[in-house]
Amino acid sequence: MANSTLVSKNSTVACGLSQNFTSEEITCDTFVQQSKSSSAPQQTSPDSVQIVRGSFESQGLSKSVVDIIMHSWRDSTKQQYWSYIKKWVCFCIEKHADPMSSTVNLVLDFLAKLFHSGIGYSGLNTARSALSSFMTLNGHDSIGKHNLVKRFMRGIFQLRPSLPRYNFTWNVSDLLNYLDTLENNSLTLKQITLKCVSLLSLLTAQRLQSIHLLDIRNLEFSNDIVKIRIGDILKQTKPGKHLNEIVLDRFVNTNLCIVTCLKLYIKMTEKFRGKEKKFFVSFVAPYKGVSKDTISRWMKTVMIAAGIDCSAFKPHSVRSASVSKACSKGLPLSTILRTAGWTNQCTFRKFYNKPVTIDTSFCNAILSNAM
């Protein structure tokens, strides 16, 4: 691949290789070296942005229009797409092909190469979406809608399926029982922090992203309730749709009362919070707002302390455990969907509504006849 070259013929080039295809030979190693030198850690490389920009600019769109379109992808999506866009450009360099416009045969060869390198259905689906985000087949056909691509992806699923991580979930009582042992009048800053994160995750059924984005200015205490608003864009946020205001009520057991715990947390952090507006701050100096990954680690710490098997269940599983418990208690489906921020009940039923334990009643009923 190091000796492979791409001789440009079209008016648009991307990925920072050149602003126009010229007769200059470009090796894949040169491209990768350029992309690495221009990439900052945890950020989307400018090269990946440029290839997408180049695709839109080649259609005659103005810079102003392209600037707005480039904001249609969220940073997390761009980060996922970039690695596959980089692989695609290297693949096209090897094949002496234009990375901006291709045939279905070349796209399928690229996806097949990824498959044989060990990438599964989910990763290949992301790669397909990455290519669809900036290019078409023969200039007009959508990659994802092409019959051969759809048939190919079905074959990938059969060969290397992407199955649900969980078939059942853990019992929230295990976590609540542990939190109940943490008496509010003797908690350290670390303990009240982890307790608030856990209770909020359970009682709101929100993603850890939402917990991370909480702003202290968006919490309103009134009598025995607390109202929480999320002012940032969430994963489920769409035009005309955003997470509703969350209202949490006081609970008779003060050790498990979210209103009491939140007030205690605010009181314990106010002396060193300063101008920090993020609700959750580090419990060690310099006491700044924490990242989503830190929130996830805190959640995992509490789950382990509560005896939950974290080799099987990840921190995100608290969302499934919470809504499954609410459903088993007969809470109306409309309330569950509204609280969690879902509009489609299929999302809840397919991905989140899990039994607390595996049901063995069927096999026991069959075997009982032999006794």
Residue where the block lists tokens 């419990």: 283
Q: Are residues 275 and 334 in the same domain?
A: yes
Residue where the block lists tokens 């350029």: 34
> Over pLDDT 90: what percentage of the chain?
30
Domain that holds residue 74: 28-159
Q: Are residues 136 and 193 in the same domain?
A: no
In a domain, residue 10? The reply is no
Q: Are residues 177 and 150 in the same domain?
A: no
Range list of H helices, 96-139? 104-116, 121-132
How far CA 113 is from CA of 97, 123, 160, 230, in Å, comes to: 16, 12, 14, 42
In a domain, residue 366? The reply is no
In a domain, residue 368? The reply is no
Q: Are residues 154 and 183 in the same domain?
A: no
Q: Are residues 146 and 293 in the same domain?
A: no
CA 311 to chain centroid: 20
Instruction: Give yes or no for residue 270 having a pLDDT over 50.
Output: yes
**Across the strands, what pairs with 220?**
227
In CATH, what number is assigned to the domain containing residue 103? 1.10.150.130
Q: Are residues 199 and 334 in the same domain?
A: yes
pLDDT, greater one: 203 or 19: 203
CA 201 to chain centroid: 16
Range list of H helices, the chain? 28-38, 46-57, 63-69, 75-95, 104-116, 121-132, 147-159, 172-180, 189-204, 208-212, 258-273, 292-305, 317-328, 333-340, 345-347, 361-368
Specify the pLDDT at position 176. 93
Q: Are residues 141 and 190 in the same domain?
A: no
- Residues 251, 252, 255: CA angle, nearest 5 degrees: 80
Q: Are residues 190 and 132 in the same domain?
A: no
Rg of the chain's alpha carbons, rounded to an integer? Answer: 25
Longest distance between any two alpha carbons in the chain, whole Å = 82
pLDDT, greater one: 328 or 183: 183
Last residue of a domain, one of 128, 159, 190: 159
In a domain, residue 360? The reply is no
Instruction: Dump pLDDT digits (tens) for 107-158.
Output: 999 999 999 999 999 999 999 998 988 887 765 678 888 899 999 999 999 9
Q: Are residues 41 and 74 in the same domain?
A: yes
Other beta carbons within 10 angstroms of residue 219's beta carbon come to 17
Give the residue among 286, 135, 219, 334 at the shortest CA–CA distance from 326.
334
What CA–CA distance (Å, rounded) separates 105 from 95? 12
In a domain, residue 253? The reply is yes
In a domain, residue 93? The reply is yes
Q: Are residues 317 and 183 in the same domain?
A: yes
Specify the pLDDT at position 17. 40
In CATH, what number is assigned to the domain containing residue 284? 1.10.443.10
What CA–CA distance (Å, rounded) separates 169 from 173? 12
- Beta carbons of 122 and 162 less than 8 angstroms apart: yes
Q: Are residues 104 and 251 in the same domain?
A: no
pLDDT, greater one: 221 or 2: 221
Other beta carbons within 10 angstroms of residue 262's beta carbon come to 21
Last residue of a domain, one of 135, 159, 183: 159
Other beta carbons within 10 angstroms of residue 311's beta carbon come to 6
In a domain, residue 22? The reply is no
Q: Which residues, 6 or more positions from 269, have their beta carbon under 8 angstroms from its beta carbon? A: 189, 281, 287
Q: Are residues 202 and 117 in the same domain?
A: no
The burial of 231, by beta-carbon neighbours within 10 Å (0-12 exposed, 13-18 middle, 19 or more buried), is given as: exposed
What CA–CA distance (Å, rounded) separates 261 from 195? 8
- Rounded to two decimals, the pTM is 0.65
How many domains would you assign to the chain? 2
What CA–CA distance (Å, rounded) separates 316 from 206? 9
Specify the pLDDT at position 240. 56
Instruction: Dump pLDDT digits (tens) for 337-368.
Output: 777 666 676 666 666 656 666 556 666 666 66
Task: Indicate the average pLDDT of the chain.
Answer: 78
In a domain, residue 275? The reply is yes
Last residue of a domain, one of 101, 127, 159: 159
**Which of the four pLDDT bands, split at 50, 70 and 90, describes residue 259?**
very high
Torsion of CA 75, 296, 339, 202, to 10 degrees: 180
